[in-house]
Chain A
């Protein structure tokens, strides 16, 4: 739906990207590219080498594993939705609206990237905890406490994942041709209509990329989760937390859990990619 509108836009003068080839691939690019790939993939090979294949099926069927996996996929998806809901408008604000202190806000958005996740979790406790700035009010007014709940897991994941989405979407917005938006405005469309009918379809691939990044980051989140949400099977024990605790006693179990998480995420991401095959 959204992608269809984006593709229907008038094609610029240059030939479609990726079809032009001039000469052979420069060695100066190829060598570091291959080194980069090795650097990223070798640790995975390290895990595969140590995987206890013989006991793999038996470990896969352990009940705690599926519970943690389900919780991880659910919370990461919810966190991504929360990021989309709040992050896309924020990215739009940063890219399209001039306001004083915009540079500062842009820098503040990246704070969760720099903050060690454990500190992020502590910061969330100090805000949403039972004695936190917002949490104490929630507790006294509604009798609601956030820490140690699945909600806390989603909040922790959204906190660390949102910057990835915002940066991707803001980049897409700034790279997008604003003449379409201007044309829409000239034709009498309000800013909201322009946003939903022109801007969003235009940057849909950027939003998709940001959502994928955010989802992946949320799925792997550990530090903020264990600090803010704690660890309880079925409620707050996500796969990364289960992996960390397995490492305390059983290296092989930790490797198996990591592989399961990796496989599931790769399968899901590859599946989504096929669906969005038209996106660059």
Chain B
């Protein structure tokens, strides 16, 4: 009887522990913890391609392993403020960076290392012949725009206002890649996304530049975090991003560099 009881209690406990562990593992923030010589970089989702490249260069040059956590900037900022172990934070918008700096979690002032501009993403070959923002207001046109709560949506709002274009999108997507995917799947005729996103999906989509986007450019700030386990390596990584090599990689990905 006692043994049954004990076993039940142990099973319950084990379940609790297992659930706890599973939760930890599901949280990308926790993966960098406990790895001695590893640099953990939290970076905006739009930096995936260029930062992965830069990370490989950095590993080769410095002999420090770099792990990335790519996600929406606001989610990353929230994770950092909740104590996620990260050394460097690169955000897609100053507002998300400010959340971290205001909470006192940064070491020094952030610097702007790249800028991203909106373009109109259309299916490869531009079947509808889109040339300007105003083409998107045609009655049959289905357009995806980011929700205003995320940086690409805020930029789109600014650009549309600057152009005086009253656009009614069919959907306000949760992030820029979701908006781009709706074009790739053929569910919408166009989407407002970053030039870098179009560059990364060049096989499926074309990017149409439009003049009003210059008024809605997104600054990308980067900073070393206060609780960094490897502050020296973190500073070296930031320097690497700002170096000539870094700038070349970012430019190739479609960013503008200051």
Contact = CB atoms under 8 A, between A and B. Distances in A.
Interface of A: 26-29, 31-32, 35-36, 39, 125-126, 129-131, 145, 147-148, 226-227, 229-233, 236-237, 241, 244-249, 251
A248 B146 CA distance: 12
Contact of B147 (A35, A131, A229, A231): A231
B57 to A, nearest CB: 32
B173 interface: yes
16 contacts: A28-B8, A31-B12, A125-B185, A125-B187, A131-B185, A148-B171, A226-B178, A241-B174, A244-B174, A245-B147, A245-B149, A247-B74, A248-B72, A248-B75, A248-B147, A248-B150
Given A129-B187, A232-B170, A248 B12 contact: no
B123 to A, nearest CB: 10
Given A32-B8, A32-B12, A230 B72 contact: no
Max chain A C-beta neighbours (<10 A), residue from B72, B75, B144, B171: B171
B205 to A, nearest CB: 15
Contacts of B230: none
A226 B74 CA distance: 18
Interface residues of B, number: 28
Given A129-B186, A230-B172, A230-B182, 14 more contacts: A26-B5, A29-B8, A125-B185, A126-B185, A131-B187, A147-B187, A148-B142, A230-B170, A230-B173, A232-B169, A236-B171, A244-B174, A245-B150, A246-B149
A130 B8 CA distance: 53
Nearest to A237: B172
A248 B149 contact: yes
B21 interface: no
Contact of B78 (A27, A229, A251): A251
A253 B186 CA distance: 34
B35 interface: no
Nearest to A227: B178
Contact of B74 (A36, A145, A233, A248): A248
| Chain A residues touching B, majority SS | helix
Contacts of B150: 245, 248
B15 to A, nearest CB: 8
B18 interface: no
Contact of A231 (B9, B173, B185): B173
Nearest to A250: B149
A47 B19 CA distance: 20
Nearest to B144: A230
Nearest to B1: A28
A249 B151 CA distance: 10
Nearest to A147: B187
Nearest to A246: B149
B9 A31 contact: yes
Contacts of B174: 226, 231, 241, 244-245, 248
Interface string B162-183: 0000000111111000100010
Given A28-B4, A245-B149, A35 B171 contact: no
B101 to A, nearest CB: 17
Nearest to B150: A248
A225 to B, nearest CB: 11
A131 B127 CA distance: 15
A146 to B, nearest CB: 10
Nearest to B142: A148
B252 interface: no
A125 B185 CA distance: 8
Contacts of B9: 28, 31-32
B236 interface: no
Max chain A C-beta neighbours (<10 A), residue from B72, B178, B185: B185
A178 B5 CA distance: 37
